[in-house]
Amino acid sequence: MKIAIVRLSALGDIIQSAVVLQFIKNFKKDIEIHWFVDEKFEGILKNHPLIDKLYALPLKDKKILKSLKILLKARKNNYNAVIDLQGLIKSAIVSRILSRNNFGFDKNSLKESFAHNFYNQKLELDYNENVFVRYLSL
């Protein structure tokens, strides 16, 4: 089983969202986890023992074509699920490119409510809920 986590940017939020990895691995030991991040933040997650594959996207440099090539190649992994922990339009688009079986928050639970249009599976949860509760709920 393979899943992808999308948390592209925001240094502190990337660190906080990495807490989900231990719960996923405890739930299913043989699960393969791939993480998608802006290359600017690659160093934070590089060599993380619970991430099997790290994809660094050149988003800050506006290299859209290069990012798209990386995503289309990664899509061949046939992810069982893609979880968007960021909930922004850019991360929702990334999750949709990777798989139609993607998870995110519903329109009332997002800062950028339009992002919900890119998710197949949506979770309604108060936007002001504790960030760890939000991450773990997905």
* Domain tally, the chain: 1
CB atoms closer than 10 angstroms to residue 40: 16
Which CATH number goes with the domain that contains 90? 3.40.50.2000
pLDDT number for residue 138: 67
Q: Are 24 and 33 in contact (CB under 8 A)?
A: yes
Instruction: Assign 82 to helix, strand or coil.
Output: strand
Write out the chain's pLDDT in tens, 138 residues. Answer: 999 999 999 999 999 999 999 999 998 889 999 999 999 999 999 999 999 999 999 987 778 899 999 999 999 999 999 999 999 999 999 999 999 999 998 988 888 989 999 999 988 877 777 676 776 776
pLDDT score, position 35: 98
Q: Which residues contact 126 (CB under 8 A, 6 or more apart)?
A: 109
Report field, pTM of the whole predicted structure over 0.85: yes
Closest among 49, 129, 40, 55 to 87, alpha carbons compared: 129
CA distance 111 to 119: 15
| Domain enclosing residue 59, as ranges | 2-137
